[in-house]
Homo-oligomer: A and B are copies of this chain.
Amino acid sequence: MSSCETCVVRNRAICSGLDNKEITALNSMGRRRSVSAGEPLIWEDDDSLLVANVIDGVLKLVTSTEDGREQIVGVAYPSDFIGRPFGQTSRASVVALTDARVCVFARNDFDRFAREHPELEHKLLERTLSELDRTRSWMMLLGRKTAPEKIATFLLEMSERLAETGCQPSFGPARRFSLPFSRQQVADVLGLTIETVSRQFTKLKNDGVIELPSRREVEIVNRGALLALAG
């Protein structure tokens, strides 16, 4: 594992706030790992029992029914924490959407270290509370919003989330971005089918609300219209 000192998420991930000695200790417990797009990091009901920080790339958290239906229940971006410390084994698989680099720890090691470092547990708590907030607003979307509302909300969220990681150091949401999702994956986030997603994208393009320069690229032409549609 290369040194945390050069880590790009050192000051944003839960490791921020640890002093050099602590970072060294944590460093010695973990290791870096690369995951290619499409490759799983954790299987549903896995017993490999690991947790991780995302350094680079985007990963999906997904649950599936026996008959193959999938629902993406979370998306992890750089500096996000992955896995289920303390007790339970995670009920969701983690799969890389893009090529990604993560910093992984055995869950037991991490649990012990965390319990000895309240500052780290506090960071993890704040993160978990935020994730719970985000997840709850996604429940509203899944349970009560129509397909057009879902798509508009999704595009707005993407333009905000991807701006933080984006190349340009500009503030505010990105006007143009590259989706880390295929159409099927967008469907799995929104609780729709791929056909419905495709039709809604086409409709927004025809209405002049967005441009679709390529399969993965999106440009928001009329943000006001999207906001109105998102409800």
Chain A contacts to B: CB under 8 angstroms: 61, 63, 65-67, 69-71, 73-74, 84-88, 90-92, 115, 118, 121-122, 124-126, 128-133, 135-140, 142-145, 190-191, 231
Contact = CB atoms under 8 A, between A and B. Distances in A.
Given A67-B231, A143-B142, A144-B70, A132 B126 contact: no
A132 B143 contact: no
19 contacts: A61-B136, A63-B137, A65-B140, A65-B144, A66-B231, A71-B140, A73-B139, A84-B129, A85-B129, A86-B126, A118-B118, A121-B122, A121-B125, A125-B125, A128-B128, A128-B132, A132-B132, A132-B135, A143-B190
B143 A86 contact: no
A143 B126 CA distance: 27
A226 to B, nearest CB: 16
A136 B135 contact: yes
Contacts of A129: 84-86, 88, 128
Q: How many copies does the complex hold?
A: 2
Given A61-B136, A65-B144, A71-B140, 7 more contacts: A63-B136, A65-B145, A65-B231, A88-B129, A90-B133, A115-B122, A121-B125
Contacts of A124: 125
A139 B85 contact: no
Contact of A132 (B69, B70, B131, B142): B131
Nearest to A191: B143
A130 to B, nearest CB: 7
A21 B214 CA distance: 63
Contact of A139 (B65, B131, B135): B135
Contacts of A143: 71, 142, 190-191
Contacts of A144: 65, 69-71, 191
A231 B132 CA distance: 25
A128 B130 contact: no
A135 B145 CA distance: 18
A231 B91 CA distance: 15
A90 B134 CA distance: 11
Question: Which 7 pairs show the lowest CB-CB distances between chains A and B?
Answer: A143-B191, A118-B118, A142-B142, A73-B136, A71-B140, A71-B143, A69-B144
